Amino acid sequence: MFPPEQLIKEAIAATEQDGIVFIDEIDKIVSGGRGPGSWRSGDPSSEGVQRDLLPIIEVEWEGAGQRS
């Protein structure tokens, strides 16, 4: 078995090279559903976080799949 520190380093390296980060339903964090498993932030600044985070994600997405 690998030491945990080595495993973490290798996982990070693999993610940086070929990883895909999947963020789904980020808008639900702010809007909050009413059904089971739903969550609503009590922090009013969370709407600002969503507004600021989504453009960053969109910019990163445009470069996805490009190799140098």
pTM of the entire predicted model: 0.29
- Residue whose token pair is 């059904």: 35
pLDDT digits (tens, 9 = 90+) for 25-44: 665 655 555 555 555 555 55
Residue 30: what pLDDT?
53
Tokens found for residue 41: 């932030």
Question: Long-range contact list for 32-40, CB < 8 A, 24+ apart?
Answer: none
Widest pairwise Cα distance in the chain: 46
Average pLDDT over the chain reads 66
